[in-house]
Structure 1
């Protein structure tokens, strides 16, 4: 059993709220992937996904990266941090105007 702990800082509170939003987007994207796996193409559009599955998953990944990059991770080297920042930038560009 887990216990909810209050955030220690304002930044942690923000990151937790972002985590909830990311989880909601990821769950929506995953649900659409499962629907496609079971039923095939969307009934109305004929496209694989009816509910922006890819964009929801990208949005979830963007928010997860924002959380990850917003905290100090001791064992991350500069190359890894740069790669994560590049991924975040690419996702931000992809998602511009979507939501």
Structure 2
């Protein structure tokens, strides 16, 4: 087995972060994001698992602590942006429904 490079480890972690983002984006048009507790639990579980992967990579010395923090921060910001977008769209639809 070849030695794993820090670049490869970072690439794998970025792929996992992208997978979590895609999970949210795929549900974006569904009411599930704003109303489904089970979906929130899935996202929380994915985020926890990802944080453990990041911690493991840091402990192995494959990525720096700062890179780990940046990965988590970027993912959290993106998820917050997506949730805010869905919340705003839901609010706008509700307001339009009240006007009719």
User: TM-score normalized by structure 1?
Assistant: 0.38
* Larger proportion of helix: 2
Q: RCO higher in 1 or 2 (8 Å CA, sep ≥ 6)? A: 2
User: TM-score normalized by structure 2?
Assistant: 0.38
